[in-house]
Amino acid sequence: MSPSLSLALLQVVDRQAPAEFWPWFVATLVKLVALFTIYMIVVAYTTLAERKVSAWMQDRYGPNRVGPRGLFQPLADGLKNIMKEETLPPYANKVLFMLAPAMAFIPAMILWAVIPFAAPWASPWGRIEMQLAPLPIGLLFVIAFSSLGVYGIVLAGWSSNNKYALLGGLRSSAQMVSYEISMGMSLIPVLLVAGNVTLNEIVNQQASLHLWNVLTLGVGFFLYTVSAFAETNRLPFDLPEAESELITGYHTEYSAMKFSLFFIAEYANMLTQSAMIATLFFGGWDIPFMRADNVGAVSFPLVLLSFAIMFAKTLFFLFFFIWIRWTLPRFRYDQLMSIGWKVLLPIALAYIVIVAGTLLALDAAGLKRDFVYGAILFAVNAVLAVVMFRILDRGRIVSPAYGRLDPQELARLRSVSRARTHLTVSAGD
């Protein structure tokens, strides 16, 4: 019996086939509204989470006045920001000054168009993708639009006509342009393994290897995450705002809701990057230890479960962003640049070559893309990671600061310092 005849007889739609126009249209509208709502709520509550987590890490209470345990704090903040006076510096470029906060925020939001947030749903009207726009070039779209966030910051810095703001804007454009490169480079191994640029395929590939990319491409995960911190201007790379030097940099001149929009943009960017890390390296919506979700479109409960999984992963990385912020000090500007260009970029390039070589060898050996394949990649990455951290560390992070001196030199320095202490003491006498 031909498929069309069976359709006509049974009056059912093939649930694996893409939905028709109208179901697709309605589904897209629903997805749009739902996603935007969830997105904004999460962003709002991330600001609260930031303060709560920092309080927890610093052993204090944090906001606890508005609502039970301070839960309505974001609402109060929003209200406050709307009520505040909007200031406009007299010599600012008015149009760009108004436009800049929006331009900082929009790219972060647009990226959600291509991030798959759940397994595709086998609805009664056909298969509905749980992603706003299943573009054939998903990952490239992400790279393209994440590189646009810099416009908002640069223009804010320039249009304010303020030296601190301009310095912040310049720093940020240099920083983001530099780290964009290592970010893009660190994604290439992911593409090599997936053999595809659509994010859904990347998720499926991780499921098919039974290993997430964080294991098979651990070094890539490290590079991407570091670059993501720089791209979102989060500590330890928050040089563009650097309160202590630049009086919050590019948004020095902003007040009220426009300032708040920059704030929102920062958290929106964090949220987007968290979702990206989750998708690219932690299996996205893939439900761990379960095969039922990787067989094309699935039933609605599974869709919800996969969404919950994705949400949990994203929230974890949001927490990770906050965790790092309250743990590490800020880099110096020259350190920031040399990490980007002299450390991350060369490592990323070498890593591409190594991964490509490994894949070539594995494919030439006729290995199927399954668990063994992933396990070999994992072994290669583990070795690389150990080598990389040994070279990078050189007694800076893990071992004490004097760890990179040779013992004789150390002994000499100690004797010198002892002699000096002796001298000062004797001079005091």
Rounded least distance, CB 134 to another protein, Å:
12
CA angle 107, 113, 117 (to 5 degrees): 125
Using rule CB under 8 A, residue 140 touches another protein: yes
Tokens linked to 88: 């406009």
Phi/psi at 93 (5° precision): -80, 105
Per-residue binder mask for another protein (CB under 8 A), 109-138, x = binder = --------------------------xxx-
CB 322 within 8 A of CB 49: yes
> Which range binds another protein by CB under 8 A, 11-19, 78-86, 196-204, 316-324?
196-204
Q: Give the phi and the psi of residue 104 in degrees, each rounded to 5.
A: -75, -30
* Main-chain dihedrals φ then ψ at residue 233, nearest 5 degrees: 55, 35
Among 42, 111, 118, 150, binds another protein (CB under 8 A): 150
Is residue 70 within 8 Å of residue 64, measured between CB atoms? yes
Shortest distance, position 197 Cβ to another protein, whole Å = 6
* Total interface residues for another protein by CB under 8 A: 29
**Is 177 near another protein (CB under 8 A)?**
yes
In one-letter notation, the amino acid at residue 216 is T
**Least distance between another protein and beta carbon 359 (Å):** 15
| CB neighbourhood size of 16 (10 A) | 12
Length of the chain: 429
Tokens of 110: 């647009």
Q: Indicate the residue type of 3.
A: P
Among 104, 115, 130, 166, binds another protein (CB under 8 A): 166
Which residue of 154, 156, 214, 276 would you call a contact of another protein, by CB under 8 A?
154
Q: Is 256 in the site for another protein (CB under 8 A)?
A: no
Nearer to another protein, 154 or 277 (CB): 154
CB of 11 to another protein, least distance (A): 23
Helical (H) or strand (E) element with 403: none
Binding site for another protein (CB under 8 A): 21, 93, 96, 135-137, 140-141, 143-145, 147-148, 150-151, 154-155, 158, 166, 169-170, 173-174, 176-177, 180, 196-198
